[in-house]
Structure 1
Amino acid sequence: MGLELKYPLMLLLLLPAGWFIYLYMKQAISIKKWTAEVKFTALLRGLLFLVLVFALTVPQILFPAKEDHVIFLVDRSASVQGSEAKILDWIEKSASEKDIEDTYAVAAFGKDTAIERSLKKTNEPLSDFHTETEQSETNIEEALTFASALIPNDSGGRIVLFTDGNETAGSANEAIEILKSRHIQLDTVVVEQVHADDLSLEELTVPPVLFAGEKTRLALTINSTSAKKAAVRISVNNREILKKTINVKEGRNEFDFLHHVEESGLLIYKAEIIPEEDRFLENNVLYSVANVKGTPKILTVEVDNSGSIVPILQQSGFAVEQRGPEQLPTTLSGYLAYQSIIFNNVPATVIKETQMNLIEQAVKEFGTGFIMAGGEESFGLGGYFKTPIEKLLPVDMDIKGKNEMPSLGLILVMDRSGSMAGNKLALAKEAAARSVSLLREEDTLGFIAFDSGPWKVVETAPLKDKDEVIDKIQKVSPGGGTEIYSSLELAYEELKDLKLQRKHIILLTDGQSALNHNYDLLTEEGKTENITLSTVALGGDADHALLEQLAENGGGRYYDVTDSSVIPSILSRETVMASRTYIEDHPFYPGIQTSTDWRMFQEGVPQMNAYIATTAKPRAAVPVLSEKKDPVLAEWQYGMGYTMAFTSDFSGKWSGDWAAWSKWPQFINQMITKSLPKYDSSPYDISLHKEDGNTVLVIKSAGGSTLPLDVSLVTDKGKRLETNTKITGPGTYETDIPDNAGMYFLSVNETTETGDVNNYQTGFTVPYSSEYLTTGHDEKRIAELADRGKGKVLQQEKDAFRPLPYSSYHKQSLSQWLILAAFLLFFSEIALRRFGLKRLAHWTRLDIRNKIRNEHSDTTLEKIVKVEKLKTRAKNKLVVQRKITQENKPETEEKMNRTKVDKMKQSNGEGNITEAEKEERMRRLLEAKNRKNK
């Protein structure tokens, strides 16, 4: 047992405390009041300061611990797969050698750490590992920190680390320093990798800058544990360019392939090896990125070839690729291969929300251009309201002058059955909310949700409070079956008597309903009341035949939806279509704003037939306007990209004489040229390296510039990552990036001293973790870890519970008791100064005298009570004798005796006194004595 002071330096406070006591005593002596009372006060104050300062040091009594704590920390990363049984057997044998008081726990780790068995005294063996850990990395640092937290704070202990020594994340050295400060010893046990046949692709080398038309060398480095055959496949932007079978020898192999570069832009090279037998699939794929200088590549997205501008673009020297909306890429790399993207009369209802997000990222972060042309399927009519595409365009899909629109009544009939639960219902409600946002307050809206029957969520009435209506819609919950007819009948009933110019119903469902109803009669009666109906079939279980027939008979549109993310675009499109006023279809001559960029308008402007009404955003430039001051051509800078909106069409149906105008090709070419990205090809050198287990991206400026950089990092799925770039040297910048393997795209923006912004874009790949490399165990690193942790590499199981080099104690703090003593001394000193030593002594003596008197009074009372009891017995005895005498003597003698007895009683003062009277007399007697004593 011992004593420990947690903050011993607090004892220095005794110096000023002693000085204050000295000053107090000196003052008392100087004024000649060095009395016993002052001496006693000084003593109390001295004790008070001593106790308080000692309490501030946090003293703790140390009781020797009888048990040792051992944590078995097991590496379960990919590199040691197959060694679990051997490790469990080792732990079981070790636990059988421990003392009965010793405790142990088991934890497993890879990229993260999980507890397998909490700290216990049990000897029961662990039969298997039950937790799941991420096997792609070996993070010993996090594992050691986790294990140390299992050992009680006031105790030391030992961690036994099972590892192959291959640390791929974090830095164990930092965690070991924490262990030493807590008196926790680190032992290690060597885990040998289980031998298995494996082939890994370790390097894919492609020049970072290429030129269209050149032949480039592609270099592959392959490592194999044995000689075998394998297939190699190389693709560029998901297009296969090579597939070949190769012979691989044991060890390191290098292969070269040639590729004729025919396209420009950002090229993503992907190399794969496919062996017959393989331990890890994760190490069979690598990517590389190259920027190819050459002819700009343009992607045109069209539903059909009507009004295609591809021939014009090709004549202008652009490389053009034409796709339908259903063929759009689903990764960011698929869009970065193009310098500009054109949407030519494409509806949003066939484009997924994720694809729109990827396009928005390509424009904003990497400078890809974007142009949208009008038509019946574009802008607001195409359903782009509140989509990522609307966000990047220089115009809003909503229009000014809504008061000029015809009166509209819209009822949304939405399926809320159990099958709609989850994302489908959430997107349907979001779609309904978008539709509400598009309506005017004078428009009439109703919302009916149905399952086995209809439920009026929003009464059909003029829209007064949009927020309240949206809130009601968002509260709809799923449940029940599917019954369409009654809900549809209710919607027609709500609209038929309303005096409105446009009446429209939108029905959305993912199920089927009974067919024993006359839907034809319902839609025909609706037509007589000018009511139209559109339907949305969601998923394969919907009654597609019924819904298509309803839309055809109801004069609306039918949508077959396989991806629920397009529901909001469908409903917003239907809301716009119901008004039919977004199309301005009267011939006019557009007005031209003064601009040096569009010189072709100096010779006059052809007539235009129609356009889609939109509203220009505040920062947008509008070089071409309609007679109503609506934008016909609008443009702006969005992030690093340049986007344009041409609200007429390319086919000539709406653009009229423009499509036959001699300057038409020049106008198209000018739009494309302005949208092209403005960035340098290779002003920076990009590289990756590992530092303390973390992946670091290094950006080196070719000119040694030290200007701040704005770096954007985006994954291939379009997710933007937060970055923090720091300057580490002249022209050298570094930023930490995720360790997750995959493709990443980088946009670097540098603002020059003149205010100009230079942009550079590229891509890079974070390769698979070195966890999947078959390098064997690292005995040197394992021994180093044990040496740093003041332990050893264990060879025998029993050594895990050998005596610890550090003594362990249980600690009991004394601070609370010392603080209590300080309070008692404090109040004692106050009482001494308030009342004085003499008065306190007087009160103490008085209390003693009163106690003695009370004890004396108690003794006297006991004697009196005893005398009274004796008198009572004598009296009783006398009465008995009198009765006997009365029986034996004549009556006269009895009278004489009675007379004598009465006289004796009177002389003794007894008379006929009752017992109560006697007790009252005794009480008064005692009170009188007490008053006399006082």
Structure 2
Amino acid sequence: MGVQFNEPGWLLLLIPAAVLLYRAYRSDYRLSGFRKKLAFGLRTVIILLLILAISGLHGFTVLQDKQVVYVADRSDSMGDAARLQQWIGESMKTKGEKDRIAVVSTGLEGAVEQKLSAQGSGTSLNASVAESFTGLESGLQLASYLFEGKGDARIVLLSDGEENVGSMASMGRLLKDRGIAVDVLPVPGQDIQDVSVEELKLPDKLYQGEAFSMEVLLNSTYNASGELRIYEDSREIGRQRIEVSKGENRYAVQGLAKSPGLHRYRAEIFMDGDTSSANNAAADFTRVDGPPRVLIVEGEEGSSGNIKAALDSGMIAVEVIPPELLPLEAAKYAAYDSIIFNNVSGSRVGGRQMEMIEQSVRSFGTGFMMVGGEDSFGMGGYFKTPIEKALPVSMELEGKREIPSLGLILVIDRSGSMSGAKMELVKESAMRTVELLRAKDTVGVVAFDDRPWWVVEPRELGDKKEVLEAIQGIQSSGGTNIYPAVADALEQMLDITTQRRHLILMTDGQSALGSNYSELTDQMVAEKITMSSVAVGMDSDQVLLQSLAEAAKGRYYFVEDETTLPAIFSREAVLLAKSYIVDKPFIPAVQNAGDWGPLFAEGVPGLLGYVATTPKSTAQVVLSSPEPDPILARWQYGSGRTVAWSSDLSGKWSKAWVSWPKFADTLTELVKWTFPQFEASPYEVSTEAAGSRVNLQITTDGSSAPEKLSAMITGEEGQEQQVELVQEAPGRYTGQLDISKPGAFLLSLSDDSGETPVQAAAGTGFVVPYSPEYKISTGVGAEALQQLAELTGGRVLKWEEPAAVFDREAVSRQVLHDWSYPLLAAALLLWVADIAVRRLALPWAAIGAWLARPLRRQPAAAAEAGRDAGLGRLAARKARAASFYGGSRSGGMKPPGPAAEPARSDAGSEGRGGSAAAPGVPAQRRDAPLREPAPAGAKPAGQGGAKPAGQGGVPPAEQGGTSMDRLLQAKSRTRRK
């Protein structure tokens, strides 16, 4: 144990501090005796503690233990981690009592299994790491942070050395500078039969009908036979039987570009004896130029005949699907030039598909058109959805027309099965419904588990914010009991006096108890109250919920995709307001046709109805109704264009339109306007995967290169990343993005040189292949580990010698103990004590004597011998006191003489140092005990001695006077000096 100072120069302050303390002690006349010494001692210690604190006083302990951190490579190429765990446990058994160990696991990044500690004879490797990558640099860096102080620090790395993220060599140089050695234990690779698809290459651009060749590169650890299959998007287009030999194998596969658009091709192998399937596929993108292609999504089967016939006449390729078949991969939407929703209800379109369509329009220039009908726009539940965000119209009708007042109660299941994302979607659905309502509407929300709980008692909406906050606070718990909640909601609804009254029941379970629901539904019908039901998932009581909706004159919904819940709730709220549908004949008015003017120059046919919407502020309204509501509106949304046609095209409301001779040409022009507007991309995009990162490189003609360029990356599941590209040279840009897992990605370039970003090129795609972790090993890992050990001064360990980890001499090290906080805390406490000594009026002399008493105690024998002397001194003091007070009962002292006038003291007399007697008061005053003892041989007053003042005696001031008189005389003498 020792001490040291970080800033010893500050100790020179002790010299001036000693001088100042000495002078302060000599010049301080306010305190005296023990009190002065105590205050001075406290002040001295405080200053000493502060000087020690600022000089960086530290204690240190010299230790000669070993600090070892194990870094275990837990990537998939290592196989079972049990053998690593066993070896670490065996080596720990040989450590010294004071040796300390820690354990780190590493995959893509490091994770601490055990902090540095002297405890442990073994450890489990169960920390969560991304095993699809080998990031040894991250594991070594984390291990270096676990060491304490400077001394015998060493890392033991257990790995095959096949890193694919970071650089352990660069980390080794940093560890060498810090004096940390790295011992390595090379782990032999697994000897398995494996065939991998290393690469698939296609031309970047093709023309429709062009034959092309795909090049497939395979790598194998053994001779094998199997099958190679080729897919275009998700459709298999060919397969062939192949033979592979050990090493690299190249194959050329012929293909034909049949349909235009951006396509993803995938090569996949199925080989006999292959033990690893993670590396059996590779993919690539290509763009096929040709006639435009449009996807029609129809809400009612066969209702898109008029649209399809019109587009066919314009040589536009058309594909018709129901909404349930919308793709779940973002890359597939890029294959279409435009997408048309023909009277599609939002309850049939998942939230994920809506987001992908919106992204495809905004980022990749895909066109979008919505065609009206009874299940479209607001009637389809698109309020506050990504689709509404992309359209030039909104679904709200604020300030438009008188809508019947509505009373709505939401009956929501909040049982334990509704926890997590499902509960959040239900709350979002309820909140969207409330936002659609008006201030005069009445709303209530009751959540139920085993019993109902009113989240919002039925009330006129008024302040929506308070209701929305209450809904946001719903938490899931308990079981499911539907009947009490519906009965309670109906009872409350009977007190509501709106023009329309409606209940929405939503649950994902079955009621715990059977009840008589027919009484409730009969009462609803009698009171003109309707109820719709929503069954979520296969576990819900679909029969009960459907029967309740039918009996209560409502609608029944079965939901497998919970993301459609917001659209269902919104649709229910809108359906109750029948004024959203305007079903009276009219002729649309041409308002702002722009370049579409020639289409309507000779007039337009009439319509029988439409769905009312509200145009957005920057939208262009081409045709409008007398209300006025937009019938045909368009706008630019991001990189794409969108069109809203609020009437139908099936003939129900638009009979005159679909029979109009110019209908086919007009509709074709509307759809063509939505097509992507940019030509072939002048940019060449190349990618390189480096572990979990992808390095982008974009090149173009330097003469037309923008100053700022950014890339929007969209993954297969719709997640987006924006990458700011750095211009390294004219026409050459680079950037990096993090990829959590392999897959196909769409890339859109944006020119950010101006105030508003501009689409720079047509959208393209790239593929991040499977992790290099699954590539067939090159066998250079052991050599890399040996170089790391040599660089840091470590050793190459052996599997059969786990005890070698601790088989070495330990280097002594110092462990510092920071004393700054204890010193400052002690100074603060003593400072409080110093204030108390200087400010509090306590019997400090008595306290000092009491504290010093143990120091003055004598041995028992000496105390016995001096007992008689002490009694004698006590008797003498008693006699002097009796003489001073004029006698004692035992000493035969006579009482004092005739009473004297009592002394009177005022400011004047004190100033002269004397005192005056007051008539009628004895001369002996209450302060008499403070008088000095009479000199030897003197007689008490009245017995031949000095007489009191006023009786011929000497004045009290001349006799010594009272204690106050003596104090004033001493003060005067001090001043004269």
Please, what TM-score do these two structures have when normalized by structure 2? 0.77
Query: Structure 2 matches for 1:885-896, cutoff 5 A?
Result: none
Q: Distance in 1 between matches of 2:529 and 2:121?
A: 76
Corresponding residue for residue 192 of structure 1? 188
Corresponding residue for residue 27 of structure 1? none
Q: Distance in 1 between matches of 2:827 and 2:523?
A: 94
Corresponding residue for residue 783 of structure 2? 780
Q: Secondary structure at the match of 1:201?
A: strand
Deviation at 1:779, TM superposition (A): 3.0
Deviation at 1:56, TM superposition (A): 6.6
Q: Distance in 1 between matches of 2:292 and 2:643?
A: 18
Deviation at 1:632, TM superposition (A): 0.8
Deviation at 1:285, TM superposition (A): 1.6
TM-superposition CA deviations, 1:826-848 (whole Å, max 9, x none): 9xxxxxxxxxxxxxxxxxxxx9x
Q: Distance in 2 between matches of 1:772 and 1:318?
A: 44
Q: Secondary structure at the match of 1:210?
A: strand
- The farther-off stretch of 224-233 and 468-477 is 468-477
Q: Secondary structure at the match of 2:668?
A: helix
The alignment status of 1:790 with 2:776, answered yes or no, reads no
1:306 partner letter: S
Corresponding residue for residue 711 of structure 1? 711
Q: Could you tell me whether the CA contact under 8 Å between 1:652 and 1:659 is conserved in 2?
A: yes
Q: Could you tell me whether the CA contact under 8 Å between 1:332 and 1:715 is conserved in 2?
A: yes
Corresponding residue for residue 66 of structure 1? 64
Q: Could you tell me whether the CA contact under 8 Å between 1:679 and 1:760 is conserved in 2?
A: yes
Deviation at 1:444, TM superposition (A): 2.5
Deviation at 1:227, TM superposition (A): 0.7
Q: Secondary structure at the match of 1:597?
A: helix
1:195 partner letter: D
Q: Secondary structure at the match of 1:793?
A: coil
Q: Secondary structure at the match of 1:288?
A: strand
Corresponding residue for residue 638 of structure 2? 639
Identity across aligned pairs (percent)?
38
TM-superposition CA deviations, 1:156-185 (whole Å, max 9, x none): 411121222222112224433442343211
Corresponding residue for residue 327 of structure 1? 325
Query: Structure 2 matches for 1:498-513, cutoff 5 A?
Result: 499-513=497-511
Deviation at 1:802, TM superposition (A): 5.0
Corresponding residue for residue 102 of structure 1? 99
Corresponding residue for residue 272 of structure 1? 268
Corresponding residue for residue 622 of structure 1? 621
Q: Could you tell me whether the CA contact under 8 Å between 1:158 and 1:804 is conserved in 2?
A: no
Deviation at 1:417, TM superposition (A): 3.9
Deviation at 1:354, TM superposition (A): 1.1
TM-superposition CA deviations, 1:865-919 (whole Å, max 9, x none): 3557999xxxxxxxxxxxxxxxxxxxxxxxxxxxxxxxxxxxxx97799xxxxxx
Q: Distance in 2 between matches of 1:499 and 1:817?
A: 73
Tell me: CA distance 1:72–1:628, structure 2 relative to 1, closer, same or farther (3 Å). Answer: same
Corresponding residue for residue 732 of structure 1? 732
Q: Could you tell me whether the CA contact under 8 Å between 1:83 and 1:194 is conserved in 2?
A: no
Q: Distance in 2 between matches of 1:307 and 1:622?
A: 24
Tell me: CA distance 1:53–1:748, structure 2 relative to 1, closer, same or farther (3 Å). Answer: farther
Query: Structure 2 matches for 1:29-48, cutoff 5 A?
Result: none
Corresponding residue for residue 34 of structure 2? none
Q: Could you tell me whether the CA contact under 8 Å between 2:154 and 2:182 is conserved in 1?
A: yes
Deviation at 1:494, TM superposition (A): 4.2
1:723 partner letter: V
Q: Could you tell me whether the CA contact under 8 Å between 1:192 and 1:777 is conserved in 2?
A: no
TM-superposition CA deviations, 1:636-685 (whole Å, max 9, x none): 11111111111111112212422222221122111111111123333222
Q: Distance in 2 between matches of 1:485 and 1:426?
A: 24
Tell me: CA distance 1:809–1:518, structure 2 relative to 1, closer, same or farther (3 Å). Answer: closer
Q: Distance in 1 between matches of 2:683 and 2:535?
A: 51
Q: Secondary structure at the match of 2:309?
A: helix
Tell me: CA distance 1:194–1:419, structure 2 relative to 1, closer, same or farther (3 Å). Answer: closer
Q: Could you tell me whether the CA contact under 8 Å between 1:357 and 1:388 is conserved in 2?
A: yes
Q: Distance in 2 between matches of 1:347 and 1:207?
A: 40
TM-superposition CA deviations, 1:171-215 (whole Å, max 9, x none): 224433442343211222222202111111100111111111101
Deviation at 1:344, TM superposition (A): 0.4
The alignment status of 1:428 with 2:426, answered yes or no, reads yes
1:228 partner letter: A
1:105 partner letter: A
1:138 to 122, 131, 134: 134
Deviation at 1:399, TM superposition (A): 1.0
TM-superposition CA deviations, 1:206-251 (whole Å, max 9, x none): 1111111101111111111101122222111111111223211111
Tell me: CA distance 1:863–1:54, structure 2 relative to 1, closer, same or farther (3 Å). Answer: closer
Query: Structure 2 matches for 1:407-556, cutoff 5 A?
Result: 407-496=405-494, 499-513=497-511, 519-520=517-518, 522-556=520-554
Q: Could you tell me whether the CA contact under 8 Å between 2:710 and 2:724 is conserved in 1?
A: no
Corresponding residue for residue 111 of structure 1? 108
Query: Structure 2 matches for 1:675-686, cutoff 5 A?
Result: 675-686=674-685
Q: Secondary structure at the match of 1:575?
A: helix
- The farther-off stretch of 393-402 and 253-262 is 393-402
Q: Distance in 1 between matches of 2:610 and 2:128?
A: 59
Q: Could you tell me whether the CA contact under 8 Å between 1:679 and 1:761 is conserved in 2?
A: no
Q: Distance in 1 between matches of 2:868 and 2:424?
A: 97
2:773 to 766, 771, 774: 771
Corresponding residue for residue 41 of structure 1? none
The structure with more helix, counted as a fraction of residues: 1
- The farther-off stretch of 108-117 and 258-267 is 108-117
Corresponding residue for residue 202 of structure 2? 206
Q: Secondary structure at the match of 1:281?
A: coil
The alignment status of 1:697 with 2:696, answered yes or no, reads yes
Q: Secondary structure at the match of 1:334?
A: helix
Tell me: CA distance 1:185–1:577, structure 2 relative to 1, closer, same or farther (3 Å). Answer: same
2:588 to 579, 587, 590: 590
1:750 partner letter: D
Tell me: CA distance 1:472–1:866, structure 2 relative to 1, closer, same or farther (3 Å). Answer: closer
Tell me: CA distance 1:194–1:606, structure 2 relative to 1, closer, same or farther (3 Å). Answer: same
Q: Could you tell me whether the CA contact under 8 Å between 1:383 and 1:571 is conserved in 2?
A: yes
Q: Distance in 1 between matches of 2:3 and 2:506?
A: 77
Q: Could you tell me whether the CA contact under 8 Å between 1:752 and 1:758 is conserved in 2?
A: no
Q: Distance in 2 between matches of 1:238 and 1:125?
A: 49
The alignment status of 1:287 with 2:252, answered yes or no, reads no
Deviation at 1:403, TM superposition (A): 5.2
Tell me: CA distance 1:425–1:768, structure 2 relative to 1, closer, same or farther (3 Å). Answer: closer
- The farther-off stretch of 201-210 and 419-428 is 419-428
Q: Distance in 2 between matches of 1:54 and 1:528?
A: 90
The alignment status of 1:164 with 2:169, answered yes or no, reads no
Tell me: CA distance 1:910–1:561, structure 2 relative to 1, closer, same or farther (3 Å). Answer: closer
Tell me: CA distance 1:859–1:613, structure 2 relative to 1, closer, same or farther (3 Å). Answer: same
Tell me: CA distance 1:659–1:790, structure 2 relative to 1, closer, same or farther (3 Å). Answer: same
TM-superposition CA deviations, 1:406-464 (whole Å, max 9, x none): 22222323333444344434322322222111111112223333445544443334322
Q: Secondary structure at the match of 2:579?
A: coil
Q: Distance in 1 between matches of 2:871 and 2:51?
A: 61
| Structure 1 residue ranges without an equivalent (≥5) | 22-47, 827-846, 872-908, 914-922
Q: Distance in 1 between matches of 2:418 and 2:53?
A: 66
Deviation at 1:748, TM superposition (A): 0.3
Q: Secondary structure at the match of 2:356?
A: helix
2:745 partner letter: Y
Q: Cα RMSD (Å) of the superposition?
A: 4.2
Deviation at 1:700, TM superposition (A): 1.5
1:602 partner letter: A
The alignment status of 1:571 with 2:572, answered yes or no, reads no
Q: Could you tell me whether the CA contact under 8 Å between 1:159 and 1:184 is conserved in 2?
A: yes
Tell me: CA distance 1:865–1:366, structure 2 relative to 1, closer, same or farther (3 Å). Answer: same
Tell me: CA distance 1:315–1:286, structure 2 relative to 1, closer, same or farther (3 Å). Answer: same
Q: Secondary structure at the match of 2:751?
A: strand
Q: Could you tell me whether the CA contact under 8 Å between 2:708 and 2:753 is conserved in 1?
A: no
Q: Could you tell me whether the CA contact under 8 Å between 1:861 and 1:926 is conserved in 2?
A: no
Q: Secondary structure at the match of 2:622?
A: strand
Deviation at 1:475, TM superposition (A): 3.3
2:471 partner letter: I
1:782 partner letter: L
Tell me: CA distance 1:519–1:121, structure 2 relative to 1, closer, same or farther (3 Å). Answer: closer
Q: Distance in 2 between matches of 1:804 and 1:524?
A: 91
Q: Distance in 1 between matches of 2:471 and 2:819?
A: 63
Query: Structure 2 matches for 1:397-408, cutoff 5 A?
Result: 397-401=395-399, 404-408=402-406
| Structure 2 residue ranges without an equivalent (≥5) | 18-45, 832-848, 858-862, 877-888, 894-928, 936-962, 971-977
Q: Secondary structure at the match of 1:559?
A: strand
Q: Secondary structure at the match of 2:762?
A: strand
1:629 partner letter: P
